Amino acid sequence: GAFDGKQSSGAAPPHVLVFPFPLQGHVTPMLKLAEVLSLSGIRVTFVSTERNQRRLLSSASVRARLARRPGLHLRCIPEDFPKNNPRNFADAAQMIQEFDAAAQPRLREILSSGSGGADPEGEPPVTCVVADALIKLAVDVAVDLGVPIIGFRTSSACSFWADQCIPDLIATGVITYQDGCDLDELVSWLPGTESFLRRRDLPSLCRVVDTDDPAMQVLRGMTQNVARYQGIIFNTAEFAEPTVLAHVRGQVSTYPIGPLHGLLQTVEHMKGAAGDGGVDGVPFSCNSTSLLQEDRACMEWLDAKPPASVVYVSFGSIALVLREHLLEIWHGLVNSGYHFLWVVRPGFVVDGGGNGGDWPAEAGEGAKGRGYRVEWAPQEEVLGHPAVGCFLTHSGWNSTIEGLWAGVPMACCPNLADQYLSRRMIAELWKIGVEIKNTCDRAAVEKAVREVMGGERASEIRAAAASMSKTAREGVEEGGSSYMNMERLIQDIRAMSS
């Protein structure tokens, strides 16, 4: 098979440059892809910003694991990027443009080295680029230098599809948000989503009705770039988004190979590279890609809890929360009566002026002994722990796919961008969780948590989550759809290199 690292005779050895956008939600799936490729016998250069590389390698167990990936090399762009996390799409759009300008020369240098013996490190030339589809410069440089390029969209296929369609739908006045419009109306504008998508589920960008808005321009640029890729990789699975993927395929060749952390486990087992031993009490199999230091003490706290008794609460790597909203969520959790493990990143709590706030004294330490707070958790492991019975999540795509994989029912409290789409898929399309529809106030949080943990529909939701998790696992096993799509991706990469 393609995973066994054999190249047809005479062909140049493939060398893939993997280039993520420098945020956690992008680095995570793209590093996992880089690891899968390297275990399959392909040389990979993984590019990060200097700061992200430093953060990634600050963990001894990550250093030890990556050293065991043959042919995986890390290189960095001398940038401390981003300065701040984006708060909305306008911020993200600006960040995309700044990153494009800053990283362009370095990428050009990496892509043009290796040819004609000009490369001081003696590296073979890059034969294929796998770049985050947010990074426009990568397409420009790769096309210019004649190197084939495959895009990687780290969000759902549904979100990609919405982005492809939205600029035109707005320009032609099809999408409207007049005052008083019915947010619960099912929308018929996005082919493949008619059975479940409501107006309120569309990405927050749809509220930007001005087509000259800079953020809208960036989106349009991304949309137009799609035709320049050889194909697009998604960290999703065939069974999760079948109708949307069918539509996307009409525009571009797709590689749905998710959940990538599951696929990586399969390939590790095949190659005998799975976690024997470990470093500092962390088994290699944990496959952490965290940019923040994980607080592993919460695993022991979970060990002492009965099965399915704890709510795990995390809002991802970007979201900020107003102090008063945080208190509402806290009251909701306390009032639900369940134990909870809560990730509160440094800088997560802000005051009305957007400045860093403190953890509110009212929220006490430990919520009467029922709550446990960490700055960053080993999330994949936490979700896999039997004590966790509910995931209160912002519905970021990585969290969604990790919750799905673990079979943990979710209560969804989205914050921005594509997260509303994921919430709807979780609650309505897959029925593996519940939505918090409007504000995450204490009553809504308490209700959602109770519904998932022990309400009337709890066992139904739990059964659906278990069944979806099983399907996801089958998909990454030999012969499964994500496995086969990965095989096809590797074959295509080898063919592009020859």
Among positions 431-460, residues that touch ligand UDX (CB under 6 A) are none
Of 340, 346, 413, nearest to 373 by C-alpha is: 340
Backbone φ, ψ for residue 103 (5° rounding) = -95, -15
φ, ψ at 314 (rounded to 5°):
-150, 140
Minimum separation from the CB atom of position 31 to ligand UDX (A) = 11
Q: Which is nearer to ligand UDX, 163 or 380 (CB)?
A: 380
Name the minimum Å distance from CB 405 to ligand UDX.
11
Binding mask 27-66 for ligand UDX (x = CB under 6 A): -x--------------------------------------
Cβ closest to ligand UDX, residue 416 vs residue 453: 416
* Encoded tokens for 168: 């035109």
Closest CA to 289 of 418, 376, 349, 195: 376
Q: Active site includes 26?
A: yes
Q: Binding of ligand UDX at residue 290 (CB under 6 A)?
A: yes
User: Could you tell me which stretch among 49-57, 95-103, 356-364, 391-399 binds ligand UDX (CB under 6 A)?
Assistant: 391-399
Q: Are 465 and 409 in contact (CB under 8 A)?
A: yes
Count CA atoms closer than 13 A to 447's CA, side-chain side. 12
Residue 120: CB partners within 8 Å, gap ≥ 6? Answer: 113
One residue of 312, 397, 430, 483 binding ligand UDX per CB under 6 A:
397
Q: How far is residue 50's CA from residue 27's CA, in Å, rounded to a whole number?
A: 13
- Supply the DSSP symbol for 425: I
Residue of 154, 236, 265, 497 that binds ligand UDX (CB under 6 A): 154
Stretch that binds ligand UDX, among 164-172, 309-317, 434-442, 463-471 (CB under 6 A): 309-317
Residues in the chain: 498
Candidates 18, 20, 22, 24: give the one binding ligand UDX (CB under 6 A). Answer: 24
**Triad 401, 405, 410: Cα angle to 5°:** 70
| 8 Å CB contact between 204 and 78 | no
The catalytic position among 15, 100, 132, 339 is: 132
Judged by CB under 6 A, does residue 318 bind ligand UDX? yes
For the chain, the 3-state helix, strand and coil shares in percent, each to the nearest 5, are: 45, 15, 40
- By CB under 6 A, residue 398 contacts ligand UDX: yes
392, two tokens: 């209160």
| Out of 257, 343, 412, 486, the residue judged to bind ligand UDX by CB under 6 A | 343
Strands 349-350 and 321-322: parallel
Scanning 275-283, 330-338, 372-380, 430-438 for contacts with ligand UDX by CB under 6 A, the matching segment is 372-380
95 vs 468, beta carbon nearer ligand UDX: 95
List 15, 26, 331, 339, catalytic entry: 26
Instruction: Kindly state the smallest distance separating residue 265's Cβ from ligand UDX, in Å.
Output: 15
Nearest to 422 by CA among 175, 244, 220: 244
Q: Does 399 bind ligand UDX (CB under 6 A)?
A: yes
Residue numbers at the binding site for ligand UDX (CB under 6 A): 24-25, 28, 154-155, 290, 314, 316-319, 343, 376-377, 379-380, 396-399, 402, 417-419
Residues belonging to the active site = 26, 132
